[in-house]
A and B are shown apart, each in its own frame.
Chain A
Amino acid sequence: QKEVEQNSGPLSVPEGAIASLNCTYSDRGSQSFFWYRQYSGKSPELIMSIYSNGDKEDGRFTAQLNKASQYVSLLIRDSQPSDSATYLCAVNMRANSGYALNFGKGTSLLVTP
């Protein structure tokens, strides 16, 4: 069974702090990793993609990948109340024909003013 694991939370951080979201995956052959943000009642929105080991920064967001440890993380700096949402980790894994995204169940983030 190919799995993607996340803590469900809720993770509560004060406004202005750094939020750290973590994800582990089971398939060592995975090559593509994504973070999606989902507000309640809305569809998932892609916020970060990462393909190689190390850090990738985009504005207040940093994605970190460690393939040896099968670990992906997302850091949100200067957290804002508008960042309160569920964050989904997704890993591209081999499927029947081609590849398919396996999603974690998401971590709920609450940023308090």
Chain B
Amino acid sequence: NAGVTQTPKFQVLKTGQSMTLQCAQDMNHNSMYWYRQDPGMGLRLIYYSASEGTTDKGEVPNGYNVSRLNKREFSLRLESAAPSQTSVYFCASSEMNRGEQFFGPGTRLTVL
């Protein structure tokens, strides 16, 4: 099992460009999550999907959209990137919404 995979590992964007971060899990988990991690701020939830077909906002959703494509895949889209979105992005999944979450390796994004 690969667990949780994320693509790409690194990305540099210019202000105003768009991109989609991809996440997939092979653990048959129901719930998936997107976080960002910034120095001094800790991990903050952007969006989550408690089950296939549902998505909801977390603590810092502005500037992002998500799609739960199917049970395995949960993508995060930046429509018009801003320097404030420079961060490390982690995807995670859990069997049940209240349960243990397992993280992917992360995407390091720089917006110039």
Q: Which residues of A contact B (CB under 8 A)?
A: 31-32, 34, 36, 42-46, 49, 88, 90, 92, 95-106
Contact = CB atoms under 8 A, between A and B. Distances in A.
A65 to B, nearest CB: 15
Contact of B105 (A43, A49, A90, A106): A43
B42 A98 contact: no
B100 A103 contact: no
A34 B104 CA distance: 17
A100 B90 contact: no
B106 A98 contact: no
B85 interface: no
Interface string B26-70: 000001010000001111110010100010111000000000000
Nearest to A34: B100
Contacts of B102: 46
Nearest to A100: B45
A105 B104 contact: no
Interface residues of B, number: 25
Contacts of B101: 34, 46, 90, 101
Interface of B: 31, 33, 40-45, 48, 50, 54, 56-58, 90, 97-106
B52 to A, nearest CB: 13
A88 B98 contact: no
23 contacts: A34-B101, A43-B103, A44-B90, A44-B103, A45-B103, A49-B100, A95-B45, A95-B48, A95-B58, A97-B50, A97-B54, A97-B56, A98-B31, A98-B50, A99-B50, A100-B33, A100-B45, A100-B58, A101-B101, A102-B45, A104-B42, A105-B40, A105-B41
A43 B104 contact: yes
A100 B57 CA distance: 10
Most buried by A among B33, B54, B100: B100
A33 B80 CA distance: 36
Given A43-B90, A46-B100, A46-B101, A101 B45 contact: yes
Given A43-B90, A43-B105, A46-B102, A99 B42 contact: no
Contacts of B43: 44, 88, 103
